[in-house]
């Protein structure tokens, strides 16, 4: 580093800023040889080492280089989170009253990593290297001053400008705001030619970025390899670039950790943030050439005329009044014009206003460096447009009600409301998702239809389907179709329903109760007695708007659907009214009481599945039903364990108590057959194969 500093001096650099800290002493030759007993090697060498050690002290060499005709500024790394402190801090040169230094709103630091004292004493200045990103991780602002304890310290770029102009200190300009003093600007120099940098109340300025990083071939700030400087292998262009230049020594490799995100580029070397700050500070005032007769050592600020336009964007004092006037004029104009426009023209006008406001804001920013609030104007345009759009759509509410009435015939009214409120939350496009499908069929419908005329049969079906459909809708189901005496429905589409299994079971139990209530009503009209069988199954199904170009239907397809139909057909075989598959029952064992009916292999399926009969919700099932189901499961366990005699005894006992229950007779018939079987397969699991649908 010492040799690099000397080389930069020789190439004509005037100020060098190190975006690196040097907190630890360099290891001298004695440190490297400490583990070795030098007296055992050569006693004379030990004395020679004592003589040459001051000459090879790298830290002192670096310090001497910084005082050899070039101004060097070192960086201090402040930490806002840790209170650890390494080395010592220099005295603050920020001119402000001590009581204000402790109360003004600036970034507070808890710890720091400083430089070695020998280097700090040799440097012409010391500045903060910290760059605090915004909440989204983007570096937009840099604090010109930060606070550690009751001392204030400048940023690295500001310190380089001070050192270049031989200024002794800074002056903070403050003003009282509400109940506290805030920073208004940082003044560099003194007298009528002093230059002020306006800041926000935290002492920060927006970084005046001038483009992307030089690493992406946008060489606004040229990079020169430190190795090339040390080896004197610079090109002619690089030699000219170093003449009377400000040099920042830092790191640009991603692995070294000094990578930031700036507004237009996510990978940006942190050292270039300091370069942009330095560029903005240097371009914010006019320099002059010193004549031969001028031999004074006054600050260069004593002979410059400051420009009125700073390179750092700022909010003028009259910004709030101008913003109020623009809001008033724009708001009144939109309020008078929008009610007479249609939706397309209103949207187009709003878009033009948005583009115009953004363009004007950026022009003021670019040409005059004024930072005007943009969000309020955008909210005004978007809010006024939205209110007028809502007002225009109120007149169409009656049409929406008409559409809702039409679709209420097919899906639950709650679904229609959700669709109208959030159309993006559903789709009729084909998709695969987990649903529960429902099949309900009237027993012996052929016999019933033969006993009734066509008109009577139509009335019976209408009076039967109406309450069933109402119950399905009540539990958020979707009617798929009516096929003769069969009703098909499903849960979980078109809107998602995480409780599709439990909603389907509750709906089916309520349908069974409703059919029992309807039997006396049908008997009064002379209709045959109605009995039904219901099947439920859950699984992944293809759901969507399917069909031909002539007719389409929103329906479900898949193996899980076919299994639901098979389960409905099996209710006749077991003499029960309601049967569900294992994918429906197992997740709900803690909500409903299920009676395990059988392990079956239905036609077209090679794997056995378990089917269950829901007896009701656990909280509502009587003790008698619980006891009966428990007794049945004891008999079924004996059957599955091939304890035929015990199983036969238990099923006989159940059959005596409930002589009309076909399920017990089914198992007694199987036991009778199995007792006469010579052998059973070793992998026999009690599954029964059904050969009919």
DSSP assignment of 249-292, as one string? Answer: E----GGGT-EEEETTEEEEEHHHHHHHHHHHHHTTB---PPPT
Position 438 in a domain: yes
343 lies in the same domain as 475: no
Domain end (from 348, 372, 394): 394
Which of 165-174, 306-315, 514-523, 629-638 comes out lowest in average pLDDT?
306-315
Residue 289 in this model has a pLDDT that exceeds 60: no
Report if residue 400 sits inside a domain.
Answer: no
- The answer to whether residues 59 and 204 belong to one domain is yes
Confidence of residue 526 (pLDDT cuts 50, 70, 90): confident
Same domain, 287 and 389: no
| 309 in a structural domain | no
Q: pLDDT, tens digit, for every residue of 546-559?
A: 877 777 777 899 99
Model confidence pLDDT, tens digit, residues 211-249: 766 555 555 788 899 999 999 999 998 899 899 999 999
Count the Cβ atoms, other than its own, within 10 Å of residue 482.
14
Residue 163: name the closest of 171, 154, 151 by CA: 154
Evaluate whether residue 224 is within a structural domain. Answer: yes
Residues 563 and 549 occupy one common structural domain: yes
Strand partners, 542: 432, 557
Q: Which residue has the higher pLDDT, 2 or 343?
A: 2
Which residue's structure tokens are 């169409």? 396
CA pair distance 599, 610, nearest whole angstrom: 4
Predicted pLDDT of residue 166: 84
pLDDT at 147 over 90: no
**421 located within any domain:** no
Least confident of 186-190, 379-383, 419-423, 596-600: 419-423
pLDDT at 298: 43
The pLDDT score that the predictor gives to residue 267 is 81
User: In angstroms, rounded to a whole number, what is the distance separating the alpha carbons of residues 144 and 308?
Assistant: 20
The domain spanning residue 547 has which CATH number?
Answer: 3.30.70.1230
Are residues 481 and 445 part of one domain?
yes
Instruction: Please give the full DSSP string across 474-527, using - where no structure is assigned.
Output: HTT-EEEEEETTEEEEEES-SS--TTHHHHHHHHHHHHHHHHHHHHHHHHHTTP
* Same structural domain, 329 and 253: no
> Looking at the structure, do residues 324 and 281 belong to the same domain, yes or no?
no
Give the pLDDT confidence score for residue 364 in this predicted structure: 85
The total number of structural domains in the chain stands at 4
What pLDDT, in 10s, does the model give residues 579-618?
999 999 999 999 999 999 999 987 767 788 999 999 999 9
Q: Are 152 and 240 members of one domain?
A: yes
- Among residues 585, 600, 616, the one where a domain terminates is 616
Split at pLDDT 50, 70, 90, the class of 399 is low
609 plus 627 within the same structural domain: no
What is the average pLDDT score of the chain? Answer: 83
Question: Both tokens of residue 38?
Answer: 């030098």
Whether 72 maps to a domain, the answer reads yes
- Asked if the structure places residue 419 within a domain, the reply is no
Residues 6+ apart with CB under 8 A from 398: none
Lowest-confidence segment of 174-178, 394-398, 530-534 by average pLDDT: 394-398
**Domain final residue, candidates 596, 616, 636:** 616
Whether residue 246 is found in the same domain as residue 389: no
| pLDDT, tens digit, 9 for 90 and up, residues 28-80 | 665 666 666 666 666 666 677 667 766 678 888 899 999 988 999 999 999 88
Answer with the residue of higher pLDDT: 683 or 593.
593
HEC string for 513-564? HHHHHHHHHHHHCCCCCCCEEEEEEEEEEEEEEEECCCCEEEEEECHHHHHH
Task: Note the pLDDT tens digit of each residue in 296-321.
Answer: 434 433 443 334 456 777 777 677 88
Query: 488 and 355: one domain?
Result: no
Q: Are residues 294 and 323 in the same domain?
A: no
Cα–Cα distance for residue pair 163/127, rounded to 1 Å: 11
Residue 299 lies in a domain: yes
480 and 436 Cβ atoms separated by less than 8 Å: no
259-262 and 486-491 as β-strands: parallel, antiparallel, unpaired?
unpaired
Which residues, 6+ apart, have CB-to-CB distance to 565 below 8 Å? Answer: 439, 535, 693
The average pLDDT across 460-485 equals 89
Domain containing residue 654:
622-693
Amino acid 606: pLDDT: 73
């Amino acid at each position: 580093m010492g040799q690099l500093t000397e080389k930069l001096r020789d190439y004509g650099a005037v100020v060098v800023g190190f975006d690196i800290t040097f907190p630890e002493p360099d290891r001298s030759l004695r440190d490297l040889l400490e583990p070795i007993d030098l007296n055992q090697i050569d006693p004379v060498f030990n004395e020679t080492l004592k003589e040459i050690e001051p000459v090879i002290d790298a830290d002192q060499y670096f310090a001497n280089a910084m005082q050899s005709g070039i101004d060097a500024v070192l960086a201090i790394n402040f930490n806002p989170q840790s209170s650890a402190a390494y080395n010592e801090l220099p005295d603050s040169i920020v001119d402000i009253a001590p009581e204000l230094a402790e109360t003004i709103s600036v970034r507070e630091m808890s710890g720091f990593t400083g430089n070695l004292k020998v280097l700090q004493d040799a440097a012409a200045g010391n500045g903060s290297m910290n760059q605090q990103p915004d909440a989204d991780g983007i570096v937009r602002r840099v604090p010109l001053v930060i606070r550690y304890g009751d001392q204030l310290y400048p940023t690295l770029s500001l310190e380089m400008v001070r050192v270049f102009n031989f200024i002794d200190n800074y002056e903070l300009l403050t003003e009282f705001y509400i109940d506290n003093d805030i920073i208004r600007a940082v003044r560099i120099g003194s007298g009528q030619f002093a230059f002020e940098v306006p800041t926000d109340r935290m002492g920060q300025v927006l970084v005046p970025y001038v483009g992307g990083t030089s690493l992406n071939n946008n060489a606004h700030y040229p990079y020169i390899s430190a190795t090339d400087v040390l080896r004197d292998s610079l090109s002619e262009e690089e030699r000219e670039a170093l003449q009377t230049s400000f040099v920042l020594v830092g790191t640009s490799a991603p692995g070294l950790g000094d990578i930031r995100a700036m507004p237009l580029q996510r990978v940006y070397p942190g050292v270039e943030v300091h370069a942009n700050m330095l560029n903005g500070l240097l371009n914010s005032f006019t320099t002059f050439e010193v004549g031969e007769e001028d031999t004074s050592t006054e600050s260069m600020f004593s002979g410059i005329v400051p420009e009125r336009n700073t390179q750092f964007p700022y909010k003028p004092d009259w910004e709030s009044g101008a913003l109020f006037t623009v809001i008033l004029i724009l708001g009144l104009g939109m309020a008078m014009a929008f009610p007479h426009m249609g939706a397309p023209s209103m949207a187009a006008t709003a878009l033009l206003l948005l583009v115009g406001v953004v363009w004007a804001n950026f022009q003021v920013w670019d040409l005059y460096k004024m930072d005007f609030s943009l969000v309020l104007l955008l909210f005004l345009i978007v809010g006024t447009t939205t209110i007028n759009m809502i007002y225009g759509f109120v007149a169409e509410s009656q049409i929406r009600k008409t559409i809702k009435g039409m679709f209420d015939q097919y899906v639950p009214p709650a679904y229609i409301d959700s669709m109208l409120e959030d159309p993006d939350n559903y789709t009729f496009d084909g998709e695969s998702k987990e649903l529960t499908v429902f099949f309900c069929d009237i027993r012996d419908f052929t016999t019933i239809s033969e006993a009734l005329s066509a008109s009577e049969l139509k009335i019976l079906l209408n009076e039967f389907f109406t309450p069933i459909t109402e119950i399905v809708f009540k539990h958020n189901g979707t009617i798929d179709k009516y096929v003769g005496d069969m009703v098909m429905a499903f849960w979980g589409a078109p809107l998602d329903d995480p409780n599709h299994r439990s909603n389907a079971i509750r709906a089916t139990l309520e349908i069974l109760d409703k059919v029992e209530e309807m039997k006396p009503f049908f008997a009064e009209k002379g209709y045959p007695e109605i009995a039904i069988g219901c099947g439920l199954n859950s699984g992944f199904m293809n759901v969507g708007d399917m069909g031909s170009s002539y007719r389409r239907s929103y329906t479900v397809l898949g193996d899980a659907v076919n299994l639901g139909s098979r389960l409905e057909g099996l209710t006749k075989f077991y003499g029960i009214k309601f049967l569900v598959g294992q994918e429906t029952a197992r997740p709900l064992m803690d909500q409903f009481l299920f009676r395990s009916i059988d392990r079956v292999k239905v036609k077209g399926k090679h794997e056995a599945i378990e089917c269950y009969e829901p007896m009701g919700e656990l909280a509502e099932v009587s003790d008698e039903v619980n006891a009966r189901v428990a007794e049945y499961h004891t008999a079924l366990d004996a059957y599955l364990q091939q304890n035929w005699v015990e199983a036969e005894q238990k099923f006989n006992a159940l059959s005596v108590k409930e002589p009309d229950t076909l399920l017990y007779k089914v198992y007694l018939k199987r036991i009778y057959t199995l007792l006469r079987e010579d052998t059973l397969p070793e992998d026999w699991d009690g599954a029964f194969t059904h050969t009919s649908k």
